[in-house]
């Protein structure tokens, strides 16, 4: 593992520790972004179960917006919020991982809030 990978893992661990401490039983909305796509899922940590998931690779989003941009992240956030409400989840804690709350991560979070998730 390179020095850069170690620092990313350390940053991610710090964020995850703080998020889990503040959760108080709420599920965690976690985000992963790659150069081409963005992925998000809502996880219930007590049971280790994924309650809802969405990505820019989903069938309904493939042609709508480019997965690497803010438009794609916005579409993923809306889709995730819809799936979460169907699963009965309204309140979550946001886990940004090792990423800054900026750009695509912020666009996904804002879209999920507008579509009905509370965090």
**Domain of 106: which CATH number?**
3.30.420.100
Residues above pLDDT 70, as percent of the chain: 100
Range of the domain at 106: 3-114
- Asked if residue 29 belongs to a domain, the reply is yes
- Asked if residue 23 belongs to a domain, the reply is yes
Joined together, the tokens standing for residue 88 give 């009965």
Question: Which residues contact residue 92 at a Cβ distance below 8 angstroms, ignoring those fewer than 6 apart?
Answer: 26, 27, 28, 29, 42, 84, 117, 118, 119
- Structural domain tally of the chain? 1
Encode pLDDT of 59-117 as tens digits.
Answer: 888 777 777 799 999 999 999 999 999 999 999 999 999 999 999 999 999 999 999 99
Single pTM value for the model: 0.90
- Asked if residue 119 belongs to a domain, the reply is no
- Asked if residue 102 belongs to a domain, the reply is yes
- Asked if residue 75 belongs to a domain, the reply is yes
């Amino acid at each position: 593992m390179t020095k850069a990978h170690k620092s990313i893992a350390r940053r991610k661990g710090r964020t995850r520790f703080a998020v889990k401490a503040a959760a108080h039983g709420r599920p965690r909305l976690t985000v992963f972004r790659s150069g081409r796509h963005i992925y998000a899922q809502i996880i219930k940590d007590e049971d280790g179960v994924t309650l809802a998931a969405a990505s820019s690779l989903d069938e309904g989003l493939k042609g709508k917006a480019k997965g690497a941009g803010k438009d794609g992240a916005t579409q993923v956030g809306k889709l995730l919020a819809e799936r979460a409400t169907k699963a009965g989840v309204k309140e979550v804690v946001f886990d940004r991982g090792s990423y800054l709350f900026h750009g695509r991560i912020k666009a996904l979070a804002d879209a999920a809030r507008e579509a009905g998730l509370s965090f």
